[in-house]
A = this chain, B = another copy of it.
């Protein structure tokens, strides 16, 4: 059976990505990171989602990006804004996807995995440099030179099926694959039970997408 590493944050996109990888016939290896994010609701969600999807393995790797500072998602001295201005958001975590994909690449090589799935998306989060197709292409080229498997032509292929999809399209795709979105956490300020604030950009984009997709919003909100 083909093997795929699936980066799994516990959010809507990565959970959809896991369902897509499973549907494509891969044995899935979930990879999550404890990287200094403010709350653990995401990781708890990732654990439940991985278990429900019956993954071959789920690893949570601690990596202290928070210690470097520089992002509202990991630095208590920077407030998460309820609405983002144009440009690169303050919720951007420096080099986050590069670090996560690199660790995924390490595991992929050991497992001799065929693919690494990442739910990066260039539509709703166009402000993040490491979510763009040109970045993903450059990472693949680097990865093919970085590893024993890569230089032997057997390296893992980076799969980003959601990169050009709108949130509505993502939800519709996941719905066809029976993804249980009530288990996913998208809110940057979710409480310890994974309940969403309903006010931040991430919450608003998500709620609007369920509405446009004509699907009931299964999100559990605070209050």
| Residues of chain A at the chain B interface (Cβ within 8 Å) | 59, 61-65, 67-70, 88, 92-99, 101-103, 105-107, 109-110, 129-130, 132, 134-135, 138-139, 141-143, 145-148, 150-151
Contacts and interface: CB of A to CB of B under 8 A. Distances in A.
Contacts of A70: 109-110
Given A68-B106, A129-B147, 6 more contacts: A61-B63, A94-B147, A94-B148, A95-B102, A95-B106, A132-B145
10 contacts: A69-B110, A98-B102, A98-B142, A98-B147, A99-B99, A129-B151, A134-B145, A138-B145, A139-B142, A141-B142
Contact of A135 (B94, B109, B132, B142): B142
Contact of A146 (B62, B69, B97, B109): B97
Contacts of A105: 94-95, 98-99
Contacts of A96: 106
Nearest to A111: B68
Given A62-B62, A63-B63, A68 B146 contact: no
Contacts of A93: 106
A147 B62 CA distance: 22
B106 A65 contact: yes
B63 A103 contact: yes
A96 B107 CA distance: 11
Most interface-central of A61, A106, A107, A150 (chain B CB within 10 A): A106
A184 B146 CA distance: 26
Nearest to A95: B106
Given A63-B63, A64-B61, A129-B148, A143 B103 contact: no
